[in-house]
Amino acid sequence: MTPEEHVPLAPYCTMGVGGPARFFVDAEHEATVIAAWAWARSRGVVLRVLGGGSNLVVADGGVDALVVRVGLRGIETVDQGGDVMLSAAAGEPWDPLVAVTVERGWAGLECLSGIPGLVGATPIQNVGAYGQEISETLVTVRALNARTGQVVTLTHADCRFTYRDSLFKSGEPGRFIVLGVTLRLRRNGEPTVRYDEVKRDVDARGLRRPSLGDVRASVLAIRRSKSMVIDPGDENARSCGSFFTNPIVSVADADRVQALTGGPAMPRYPQSDGRVKLAAAWLIERAGFEKGQREGAVGLSTRHALAVVAHAGATAGDVLAFARRIQHDVDGRFGVSLTPEPVFWGV
């Protein structure tokens, strides 16, 4: 394994900004990932893992590290009664995998349709959308322990999943390199129709008993209407999708925010732990931002207030400055802190 040097990372990221990697290697086999780990460890170089780049912002100065672009491929399935155990390598493109499961009548991923990126990213931030999360189907994660160099299998409990978070993201970031996942899907299972937007779309089409394919079609249509699918011809294409997570607050704080709005009913979603999830996009718009609003080469998506878009000439510094202004204004208006969803390198 001989890494390349000073490789630009912007072309590998959907935001399209940021500087180079000091060292870079494409890894299509587990042996290459392990060799990269050994190379970095022996030289005291930081190791970073790159997937589809759809949830990553790289600083303009780049990153002083060995960046390993994980391209491991392979899918295996095992029948287990009414369930199907599906194992997928970390470099498998996510949405094509979802499409296959839907076509075969395996329930559990249909609402996660249209999400860009690779399989390996899904457990890191407990990817979720439209009423489903990967933690609902994930059984194990195969990973390289970056402390020991050993390949290990982590159970669902080991992953410590919470809302858009896990062991890999904030628990012990950097300790594990995801090599693959195993999911438990329901053969001929009913689709998940929990989310209001999905329910409305299904009802509007007169579907009393929607199939997995029907729900996937609804999710894709909704995402497309918000520029939340990868489309190079879309003016909102250069983004990380949702730039902030929806804040989860106490009931008292939710009531306080509701009182501050003094307007239409505020979206609020009760959580199992007694707290309330608020809609970040709703807060952003009521803090004075509008869809399509721009500051130089950076702005909000014309279709969704939760997506920060980098236009021609934008830098990572521009993106971060705009995001910080949104955080500042939402906090000043409502006393609610917005947490960025992307991973930041070199910032």
Supply the CATH number for residue 82's domain.
3.30.465.10
Rg (CA), the chain: 20
Active site residue 223: no
Residue 108 and residue 152 in one domain: yes
Active-site residue among 48, 242, 286, 301? Answer: 242
- Quickly state the pLDDT bin for 167 (edges 50, 70, 90): very high
Residue 79 and residue 194 in one domain: yes
CATH number at residue 306: 3.90.78.10
Q: What pLDDT, on a 0 to 100 scale, did the predictor assign at position 263?
A: 66
- pLDDT, tens digit (0-9, with 9 covering 90-100), for 181-207: 999 999 999 999 999 999 999 999 999
CATH number at residue 51: 3.30.43.10
Residue 47 and residue 98 in one domain: no
Q: Is residue 254 part of a domain?
A: no
Domain count, the chain: 3
Active-site residue among 164, 216, 223, 286? Answer: 164
Residue 211 and residue 303 in one domain: no
Residue 14 and residue 85 in one domain: no
Q: What is the DSSP letter of 162?
A: B
- Quickly state the pLDDT bin for 251 (edges 50, 70, 90): very high
Last residue of a domain, one of 21, 46, 70: 70
Residue 290 and residue 340 in one domain: yes
Active site residue 110: no
Strand partners, 144: 151, 177
Structure tokens at 94: 């996510």
Active site residue 290: no
**Residue-wise DSSP of 280-342:** HHHHHHHTT--TT-EETTEEE-SS-TTEEEE-TT--HHHHHHHHHHHHHHHHHHHS-PPPB-S
> Which domain does 299 fall in, by range?
239-248+277-345
Residue 65 and residue 132 in one domain: no
Residue 34 and residue 80 in one domain: no
Residue 106 and residue 60 in one domain: no
Residue 54 and residue 162 in one domain: no
φ/ψ of 155, rounded to 5, equals -80, 170
- pLDDT, tens digit (0-9, with 9 covering 90-100), for 64-115: 999 999 999 999 999 998 999 999 999 999 999 999 999 999 999 999 999 9
Residue 336 and residue 198 in one domain: no
Residue 243 and residue 308 in one domain: yes
Mean pLDDT of 50-55: 94
